[in-house]
């Protein structure tokens, strides 16, 4: 009986619940005000007028998260060439982001969502009861602050190239509507 209760408890605690609904493509991106790895504040509004790749990730300095961050790092000049910004968000704190950013020389912003509000607003917060993490998902935000694309199934090896290609495609369409 005790073993069965322990198994049920383990299953209950290991199945994540998602907090919040994900914004739909074409809707306004949820606003945020978060500190970066240097303690500076950032808002969604500060990125208006340019494309913004917001990628959520579970944990600083873990294998998949490091691979994804380093791929964004290695392609940062391609993002800058098309006037696009990259922002990584996890529920880790500012100090953790600083260590992660310094260790891998990340030339873009990492935002600390320590109170889980932004991950919840984007519907990517996994709540394991004893632990909360952002799931590996991304959102492409257009220069007007609308969700252009949601990436629910992210491969850390190829995601950066996918986002770059989508920005180039969407940018042409967006420019034609001006």
Of 30, 60, 17, 58, the residue nearest 139 (C-alpha): 30
Which residues belong to the active site?
65
Of 71, 79, 32, the residue nearest 53 (C-alpha): 79
State the Cα–Cα distance between residues 133 and 162, nearest whole angstrom: 24
Phi-psi region of 39 (alpha: psi -120 to 50; beta: other; left: phi over 0): left
The separation between the first and the last C-alpha atoms of the chain, rounded to the nearest angstrom, is 67
Of 20, 54, 45, the residue nearest 151 (C-alpha): 54
Q: Specify the DSSP class assigned to residue 32.
A: -
The pair of three-digit structure tokens given for residue 42, joined into one six-digit string: 């950032």
State the Cα–Cα distance between residues 107 and 123, nearest whole angstrom: 26
Coarse DSSP helix, strand, coil percentages of the chain, rounded to the nearest 5 percent: 40, 25, 35
């Amino acid at each position: 009986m005790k073993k069965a209760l322990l198994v049920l408890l383990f299953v209950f605690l290991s199945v994540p619940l998602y907090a919040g609904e994900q914004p739909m493509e074409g809707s306004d991106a949820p606003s945020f005000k978060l500190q970066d790895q240097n303690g500076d504040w950032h808002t969604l509004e500060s990125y208006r007028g340019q494309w913004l790749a917001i990628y959520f990730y579970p944990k600083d300095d873990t294998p998949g998260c490091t691979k994804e961050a380093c791929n964004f790092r290695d392609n940062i000049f391609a993002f800058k060439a098309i006037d696009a910004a990259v922002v990584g968000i996890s529920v880790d704190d500012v100090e953790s982001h600083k260590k992660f950013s310094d260790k891998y020389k990340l030339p873009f912003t990492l935002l600390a969502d320590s109170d889980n509000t932004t991950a919840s607003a984007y519907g990517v917060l996994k709540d394991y009861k004893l632990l909360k993490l952002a799931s590996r998902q991304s959102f492409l935000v257009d220069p007007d602050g609308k969700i252009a694309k949601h990436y629910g199934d992210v491969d850390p090896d190829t995601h950066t190239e996918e986002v770059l290609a989508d920005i180039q495609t969407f940018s042409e369409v967006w420019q034609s509507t001006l």
